[in-house]
Structure 1
Amino acid sequence: MELRAKDERAVLIGDGDDGAGTREVDPDSLALGGDLSADLHEWARVVSAVRRGGSEEAGSAAHVVSRRGRQLATRVASAMGAPISYMDPLSGEVSVVEPPAAVAEPEREAVPAEPTPWGTGLLISAFTTVLVLAAVLTLAVTLYQTNPLLAIGSNLVVSAGLLPSVWLAREAPTWRWVAVGVAAGIALGWLALPFIIFGQ
């Protein structure tokens, strides 16, 4: 296939499959995409305007028109996945434009997995467990003195408020240790609640 500008239209010239010789193909009839077809025809109109202009205007614009045509030929070759010929509309020079080679993504180096900080993580979990358990028990004991049902209600409110955050933080590298501690503190709070209610 060869890209040319003809009568303010961009055309692709190629040999037909039926052996009937060369034929012109409108870029709109190919799967090039609407933007590329429109750009090709716009380029052909500019070529026609430059041809109609004086020699001084043609000389100053020839470089820009040729470069734009080569860029469009590269896009056509990329869309078709095959090299195409490009005829410079002002100089008549024919050159072959190859489709751009696919750029392979550089292989990422495998990052070694960091060891799990069990010591520090369990220390954070233990501290968080004690803190949450103390807060839950203090609230339950204080509200039990007003009404025993308020102690149960406080545990329900604390559990409902904290468990969604615990669920979201369960996979975060650092916050998962805090999430384990909060979950353990809430569970121990529920285990201690019967002793608060029936033990007093």
Structure 2
Amino acid sequence: MQLHARAGRAVLVGHDGTAEREVDPRSLALPADLGDALHEWAQVALALVPEDNQPVGGVAGDLVTRRGRQLAGRLATELGMPVSYTDPVSGEVLEVAPAPSPLPDPVEELPEQQAEPAEPTPWGTGLTVTAVTAAVVVVAVTALSSSLAQASPWLAVVANLVVVGGLSPSVWLARAVPTWRWVALGVACGLPIAWVLLLLSLLGPHS
């Protein structure tokens, strides 16, 4: 199939098996803007090439040639077959192949992230640390509270409140730290035990 510009019209010339025929590009299943662009190109070519077929060169002629090749390439792509393009300025015949179909972007396969195995919880060691910490807290708080309670029970209460207020922020922050969470648990368990023992010791003499 050949693309020509004749009498201000773009025509496609091909052989249907019995005779050579001319076809208007707009009669084919092509985008409407492509058919209009082909005819506009043919009209400009007619203005540049006189009736004696002596081409007019220069910048205008180069533009018509390049525009014709561009449209021939697009036409070949739409038809899915090579198109012979006859340059109306130089008379040269070129075969324009359809543009290759764009390859899909390769999907980069990301390596599967292997989940790191969770470390086993050291229950034995952790509970041992908790028990030791709780025992230290019980002894320290009981001894301090007993000494202050001899002077005034209210003084012991105030002292315990001060101890709780000072330790609470640290215990709260340490609960999420792998090692210190066992210490925090020991402190949280030791304080109530110390208060119970202190209460029993204060109530004992009066019973």
TM normalised by structure 2 equals: 0.51
Look up the match of 1:11: 11
Distance in 2 (alpha carbons) for counterparts of 1:63 and 1:73 = 15
Question: 2:55·2:90 contact (CA, 8 Å) conserved in 1?
Answer: no
Runs (5+) with no aligned partner, structure 1: 120-200
Instruction: Report the Cα offset of residue 113 of structure 1.
Output: 2.6
Instruction: Report the Cα offset of residue 58 of structure 1.
Output: 4.0
Pairs within 5 Å for 1:23-172: 23-52=21-50, 58-115=57-114
Question: 2:3·2:13 contact (CA, 8 Å) conserved in 1?
Answer: yes
What's the Cα RMSD here?
Answer: 2.5
Look up the match of 1:181: none
Question: 2:83·2:96 contact (CA, 8 Å) conserved in 1?
Answer: yes
- The one-letter code sitting in structure 2 at the alignment partner of 1:33 is P
Aligned residues: 117
Distance in 2 (alpha carbons) for counterparts of 1:102 and 1:57 = 36
Distance in 2 (alpha carbons) for counterparts of 1:60 and 1:37 = 24
Look up the match of 2:121: none
Instruction: Report the Cα offset of residue 60 of structure 1.
Output: 2.8
CA 43–56 in structure 1, closer or farther in 2 if over 3 Å, else same: closer
- The one-letter code sitting in structure 2 at the alignment partner of 1:80 is L
| More divergent stretch after superposition (63-72 vs 109-118) | 109-118
Instruction: Report the Cα offset of residue 116 of structure 1.
Output: 5.0
- The one-letter code sitting in structure 2 at the alignment partner of 1:3 is L
- The one-letter code sitting in structure 2 at the alignment partner of 1:100 is A
Distance in 2 (alpha carbons) for counterparts of 1:60 and 1:34 = 28
Deviation sequence 1:32-54 (CA, Å, 0-9, x none): 1101001101101111111249x
Question: 1:82·1:99 contact (CA, 8 Å) conserved in 2?
Answer: yes
Question: 2:81·2:97 contact (CA, 8 Å) conserved in 1?
Answer: yes
Distance in 2 (alpha carbons) for counterparts of 1:10 and 1:100 = 21
- The one-letter code sitting in structure 2 at the alignment partner of 1:85 is S
TM normalised by structure 1 equals: 0.53
- The one-letter code sitting in structure 2 at the alignment partner of 1:4 is H
Runs (5+) with no aligned partner, structure 2: 119-207
Instruction: Report the Cα offset of residue 56 of structure 1.
Output: 9.8
The alignment partner of 1:77 has SS state of: helix
Distance in 2 (alpha carbons) for counterparts of 1:12 and 1:34 = 16
CA 3–45 in structure 1, closer or farther in 2 if over 3 Å, else same: same
CA 49–83 in structure 1, closer or farther in 2 if over 3 Å, else same: same
Distance in 1 (alpha carbons) for counterparts of 2:106 and 2:6 = 46
Deviation sequence 1:33-86 (CA, Å, 0-9, x none): 101001101101111111249x89643311110010000000000000000100
Question: 1:51·1:58 contact (CA, 8 Å) conserved in 2?
Answer: no
Percent identity over the alignment is 45
Question: 2:84·2:96 contact (CA, 8 Å) conserved in 1?
Answer: yes
Look up the match of 1:182: none
